[in-house]
Amino acid sequence: MEVFTLAVVSLAIAAFLFFTKRQNRIHLSLACLCLAIFFYKGAGFFSVHFHSGFWSVMEMFGLLAISPLIISFGRLLLSDQSLLSLRQTMTAAFISLILLVSLFAPLADWPYWSMLIYIYPASVLAFCYGALILFIRSKPAGMERTRMLYLSIAFGVAALISALDVIKLFGYDFSPLYMIFLPSIISLSPFSCI
């Protein structure tokens, strides 16, 4: 049920950001990111209940769409003053597209392929988190630095808790604690853009 809650929260935030009157590029980027999270978690919820290949592909589409969208959001959030660039966004989108197409190739039968699919977005998230930390270190003391510091602490805690989901890849049944914390982090993200 936590998966469905996360999907609904992501969809609600995306819809709110798409239809708000005060739109800017950061809000639209966050809305697209929330929509990708909705596809990933919503399709994951439906694939468990309906056992259809369509939902599995949609889940992978959402997961692989997160990588370029998180780079784009981070680039806009950090005011283009970070390691994140448009070129990296395009490269991540190209890699995601290749990985998505490869799901239909014989390479997808390789036993470690699903782990690779999860390692790619995790490494992109770690890179973006590193860019956020470097951005915070370069800023002088002030309100924006404090706001970004709190944001980095919240994202760090969510990343640490989300790392526990890797245990499921090894065959152990583990309650996904991050499903409880991630909706609160996602719901706080629009306020970090203001």
Q: How far is CA 156 from CA 46, 80, 94, 130, 191, in A?
A: 29, 21, 27, 10, 17
Task: Give pTM, 2 decimals.
Answer: 0.80
Q: What is the pLDDT of residue 86?
A: 86
Contact yes or no for 97/72 (Cβ under 8 A)? no
Whether residue 45 is predicted with pLDDT greater than 70 in this model: the reply is yes
Give the closest residue to 34 by CA, choosing from 147, 193, 189.
Answer: 189
145-185 pLDDT tens trace: 888 888 788 777 777 766 666 666 666 665 555 555 555 55
- Band (193; pLDDT cuts 50, 70, 90): low
- Band (90; pLDDT cuts 50, 70, 90): very high
In the block, tokens 């697209």 appear at: 32
Whether residue 100 is predicted with pLDDT greater than 90 in this model: the reply is no
pLDDT (average), residues 93-101 = 90
CA atoms within 13 A on the CB side of 81: 10
Q: What is the pLDDT of residue 68?
A: 93
- Both tokens assigned to 25: 């590029």
* Residue-averaged pLDDT of the chain: 79
> How many other β-carbons are positioned within 10 Å of the β-carbon of residue 5?
15
Question: Quick one: CA dihedral 97, 59, 155, 192, positive or negative?
Answer: positive
- Band (56; pLDDT cuts 50, 70, 90): confident
pLDDT (average), residues 14-23 = 79
Whether residue 191 is predicted with pLDDT greater than 60 in this model: the reply is no
Of 45-54, 69-78, 152-161, least confident by mean pLDDT is 152-161
Residues in the chain: 194
